[in-house]
Amino acid sequence: MRAIKIDVTNCTVTEVDVSNLKDKQAIVDGYICVGFEYPDGKHVCYVNDEGLLNNPQHFFASKYGYQPYAGNGVIVGSTLTGNDSPCTLTLDEVKASIRFLPLDDVQHLIRVGTVDYGTYITDSTGTRKISSIDLGAFDKKGSDDA
């Protein structure tokens, strides 16, 4: 069955084939839980249920989720009865809706008090900012957060 793998180590989004729970667990490297559901009601992203316990260094965030997720994700289709079905999202749709985040960026988001979806930019002075969350939060922080 067609699924989409979000690989946080290599910062890639690729098509994969999954046929059972074991396949999904292998992709996220552990027990799975629902990270978030897509607003179309037809897709779900599974993540590692214990991802934060594994000293994570790489994360991803989705505009459909509520937080950064530690480790890989796997997106499958979902039926009205909750069964898995082939993913019909395109790779471009998924790529446009996620951001890869290293640990220091997640820690920075925690310090500034937001963990929402955002696009990272660096201005001409080298100051790291998030363009689509709360630019003011970055401007109010001290130099140790820049």
Q: Is the pLDDT of residue 66 over 90?
A: no
> What proportion of the chain, given as a percentage, has pLDDT over 70?
77
Mean pLDDT, residues 1-13 taken together: 97
Of residues 52 and 17, more confidently modeled = 17
Dist CA 8 CA 137 (whole Å): 26
- Residue 111's pLDDT band, with cuts at 50, 70 and 90, is confident
Q: Which amino acid is at 36?
A: F
What was the pLDDT predicted at 124?
57
Please list, residue by residue across 66-92, b when 16 or more beta carbons sit within 10 angstroms of its beta carbon and e when fewer do: eebbbbbbbbbbbeeeeebeebebeee
What was the pLDDT predicted at 129?
45
Dist CA 130 CA 121 (whole Å): 6
Q: Is the pLDDT of residue 102 over 80?
A: yes
Q: Is the pLDDT of residue 119 over 70?
A: no
- Residue 17's pLDDT band, with cuts at 50, 70 and 90, is very high
Of residues 105 and 132, more confidently modeled = 105
CA distances from 21 to 16, 31, 84, 127 (A): 14, 9, 10, 43
Sign of the torsion formed by the C-alpha atoms of 110, 35, 129 and 100 = positive
Please enumerate, as own/partner, the contacts of 101-104 that have beta carbons within 8 Å and a separation of 24 or more: 101/58, 101/59, 101/60, 101/61, 101/68, 102/57, 102/58, 102/59, 103/56, 103/57, 103/58, 103/59
